Structure 1
Amino acid sequence: MKIHLSGPNNKLLAATIKITGSKSESNRSLLLSALYPGIEIKNLSNSDDAQVMEKGLRIKEGTVDIHHAGTAMRFLTGYFAALEGSDIVLTGSKRMTERPIRILVDALKELGADISYVKAAGYPPLRIKGKKLVRNKVSLPANVSSQYISSLLLIAPSLKNGLELELVGKITSVPYIKMTLGLLSEIGVQSSFEGNLIKVETKSDVNSTTLVVESDWSSASYFYSIVALSKVGTEIILSAYKENSLQGDSVLQEVYKDFGVETSFGENQIAIKKIAEASQSKIQCDLANAPDIAQTIAVTCFGLGLSCHLVGLHTLKIKETDRLEALHTELTKLGADISVTDKSLTLNITNAINMDVAIDTYNDHRMAMAFAPLAMRTSIVINDAMVVTKSYPDFWSDLQKLQFQVKEL
């Protein structure tokens, strides 16, 4: 489905929106509840990815198809490798079979896992025969996707001897690692993270415990963008959020200060308000710890006629699409002066925005949602608009609460 999108131009916006639970926290919590049946989860994400993860965890033999869900691919690889008696083929979409997984597979094999490649070496599909993993020491390059690291950490307490994981080199995506360790702590698992060494103690069972999933900060980013692109005085209230978040993307509240957007916390919610115009003409960010908000920031800058230089983006090459190239292509259509490398993006100031451009989404939910706020400046078409269900099924209806015109073509 494609939609024509136009925004509430020059209007003062106000709305209260409830955002679904974090996909990142939900998938981690689901895996932990599969390992420890005493865990109950509240505010679970209603995203496609969480549903795929939940369904996959119920299968013990045969084929598990996780479609476009990269997190599920990484987490389930570790889960099935350590699940005694399981015998599955783990597969996904065509794009998923192009996303590398060798680093995680090699680490699991080093722990004693039985994993083989069904087709191309280093890529899904994977044949996994679950067994008891008794080795407890392994190393990984420190700059890999944090999902590889979290896949190992999540199964660590279920291993007979726990796990000692050494990260070699400069660590990236630290907040996602800390999110995983924070959830382990909530269920009573002892761990330490000192220097480049992470240790997780074994735990045989967990008493009745409730994990409350915080709403998704990545999803909040699109409303930060809308507020930044709107008139001074616009205020949107989002729930349910915690001031001491486990999510790395909560750095949004600091980043968007440069756009004149203020964040205040209430009981289980945040109010985001535009109090001034952008304070500088060039936005510079190192997003190594929060790469999922890069698309949102780049589009916000373009819509406001600002320049930006974003670094720390090396993991975007292996996401649902090559997000850097996708940004380059789609922003260029709109009239942007943009250049990208394999780990950075530079946008120069342009004042004109082309109208009614059709934005391709590349099977990537974040492409659709990051470009949507630009309808505050010009009408656009979003191709394959329902790709948003991967993480935020209610996105288009929530935009309508803000007086966006969403017309199916």
Structure 2
Amino acid sequence: MHFTLQKSKIAKQSSIQITGSKSESNRLLLLQALYPEFKLENVSNSDDSNLMTNALSSQSELVDIHHAGTAMRFLTAYFSIQEGRETVLTGSKRMKERPIKILVEALQELGAEISYVENEGYPPIKIKGKKLIKSNVSLKANVSSQYISALLLIASKLENGLELTLEGEITSIPYIKMTLSLLDEIGVETSFIDQVITVKPNTKNLEPKTLVVESDWSSASYYFSIAAISEVGTEITIASYKENSLQGDSVLVDIYKHFGVTSTYQGNSITLKKETSNITPLTLDLKNAPDIAQTIAVTCFALGIPCDLTGLHTLKIKETDRLVALKTEIEKLGGQVEITDKSLHLLASNNIKELVSIATYNDHRMAMAFAPLALKEAIIIEDAAVVSKSYPTFWDDLKSIGFQITK
């Protein structure tokens, strides 16, 4: 289903309640499956989190997680310690092209029994759950942080815990720290010293408690973009957010100062205000927050400023090759983009073509990142329902602040 976004002007003041963080929700859902004594509130209503919930409660041997990459990584680890259970973990056509070998080899090193059903190094995989005795494993530090988090999430249930050594420069540190903070919050003992992460084994019941999931900062990024592209004086209030957030994408607050957007916290809300339109070219290393690269690139394009974004090597193995997708779609709109395997370079362009149809490549972030361009020109978003992967109410929320959207 394609949506047409007419050239729109949003309200001077508006507010949005955003669903719980997908990253936090999926970590906590897995931990809740291991430790049923605690409860969760404000869990993400995204497709990915619903798939995670269903997979964790499934009794079937075949578990299909469709496009949910986080669920694929986390569940690979989870099912490897479900003693006596055999599981075949599969997904969409794109999921079968996304590598899993690094995580599988790390689990095998710990004693897990995992084999490939079709192609070596890729899903689907067959997992025979068993007790894992070994506790030492090494992993390259520049791989997807989801591989690292998958191991950390099950670590306290391993007989001897886990000592994970990271080799080389560590990327996506905020996501690793998020996982460790959530483990600490539920009462699991952890440490992260230099390149070594240690998680102590836990055999006792944890103290029952209710954990509230913070709203999703990646989803908030689209409102930062909207504020940046809007007229000076525009205010958007979003909830529920913490000033000392665990989520790496909370760097949006600092990054969007560059675009003239100030952020003010009040209680669990944050108000974004466009203060100035005097904006200069941007150079940014996004190795710790790659999920907001698309949003930032489109913001720069909309404002007609060049940018150099680096640290993007993980974007090639996401729902699509996001670097190629960004180049293709921005150039359709009239921009000029150069990419390498880990960077994107946008040349300034003020002439945005009207009613260009944006392909979304089964990638929720492509649909949402390009939507704010409707503040400049009418635009068509193909396969608009793809946003349900992380933010099902996205289009309704845009309408509520003034976007004109037709099917």
Q: Structure 1 length as normaliser, TM-score?
A: 0.98
**Corresponding residue of 1:361:** 360
1:5 maps to 2:5: yes
1:267 maps to 2:267: yes
Q: 3-state DSSP class of the match of 2:156?
A: helix
Q: 3-state DSSP class of the match of 1:254?
A: helix
Q: 3-state DSSP class of the match of 2:349?
A: coil
1:351 maps to 2:340: no
Instruction: State how 1:51-200 maps to structure 2 within 5 Å.
Output: 51-200=50-199
Whole-Å separation in 2 of the counterparts to 1:384 and 1:60: 32
1:7·1:403 contact (CA, 8 Å) conserved in 2? no
Instruction: State how many pairs are aligned.
Output: 406
Q: 3-state DSSP class of the match of 2:107?
A: helix
Whole-Å separation in 1 of the counterparts to 2:384 and 2:279: 33
Whole-Å separation in 2 of the counterparts to 1:381 and 1:116: 43
Q: Provide the alpha-carbon RMSD of the alignment.
A: 0.8
1:270-311 per-position Cα deviation (integer Å, ceiling 9, x unaligned): 11111111431x111100000000000000000000000000
1:49-72 per-position Cα deviation (integer Å, ceiling 9, x unaligned): 000000001124410000000000
Deviation at 1:83, TM superposition (A): 1.2
Whole-Å separation in 2 of the counterparts to 1:60 and 1:25: 24
Whole-Å separation in 2 of the counterparts to 1:12 and 1:396: 16
Deviation at 1:350, TM superposition (A): 1.1
Instruction: State how 1:176-325 maps to structure 2 within 5 Å.
Output: 176-204=175-203, 205-280=205-280, 282-325=281-324
2:25·2:213 contact (CA, 8 Å) conserved in 1? yes
Whole-Å separation in 1 of the counterparts to 2:163 and 2:179: 15
Whole-Å separation in 1 of the counterparts to 2:264 and 2:216: 17
1:226-256 per-position Cα deviation (integer Å, ceiling 9, x unaligned): 0000001100000000010000000000000
1:160·1:202 contact (CA, 8 Å) conserved in 2? yes
Deviation at 1:12, TM superposition (A): 5.0
- Which structure 1 segments of 5+ residues have no match? none
Deviation at 1:8, TM superposition (A): 2.5
2:287·2:311 contact (CA, 8 Å) conserved in 1? yes
Whole-Å separation in 1 of the counterparts to 2:320 and 2:159: 38
1:25-74 per-position Cα deviation (integer Å, ceiling 9, x unaligned): 00000000000010100100000000000000112441000000000000
Q: 3-state DSSP class of the match of 1:116?
A: strand
1:60·1:87 contact (CA, 8 Å) conserved in 2? no
- Which structure 2 segments of 5+ residues have no match? none
**Corresponding residue of 2:380:** 381
1:307·1:347 contact (CA, 8 Å) conserved in 2? yes
2:110·2:137 contact (CA, 8 Å) conserved in 1? yes
Whole-Å separation in 1 of the counterparts to 2:23 and 2:215: 10
Whole-Å separation in 1 of the counterparts to 2:120 and 2:306: 41
Deviation at 1:402, TM superposition (A): 1.3
Whole-Å separation in 1 of the counterparts to 2:270 and 2:31: 28
Deviation at 1:118, TM superposition (A): 0.1
Whole-Å separation in 2 of the counterparts to 1:160 and 1:128: 19
Whole-Å separation in 1 of the counterparts to 2:11 and 2:123: 48
1:136-180 per-position Cα deviation (integer Å, ceiling 9, x unaligned): 000100000000000000000111111000000000000000000
Q: 3-state DSSP class of the match of 1:293?
A: helix
Amino acid at match of 1:235: E
Whole-Å separation in 2 of the counterparts to 1:191 and 1:50: 25
2:63·2:87 contact (CA, 8 Å) conserved in 1? yes
Amino acid at match of 1:17: I
2:11·2:402 contact (CA, 8 Å) conserved in 1? no
Single out whichever of 84-93 and 205-214 deviates more from structure 2.
205-214
Whole-Å separation in 2 of the counterparts to 1:169 and 1:82: 28
**Corresponding residue of 1:401:** 400
Q: Structure 2 length as normaliser, TM-score?
A: 0.99
Q: Which stretches of structure 1, 4 residues or longer, exceed 3 Å deviation after superposition?
A: none
Whole-Å separation in 2 of the counterparts to 1:172 and 1:278: 32
Amino acid at match of 2:325: A
Whole-Å separation in 2 of the counterparts to 1:252 and 1:34: 32
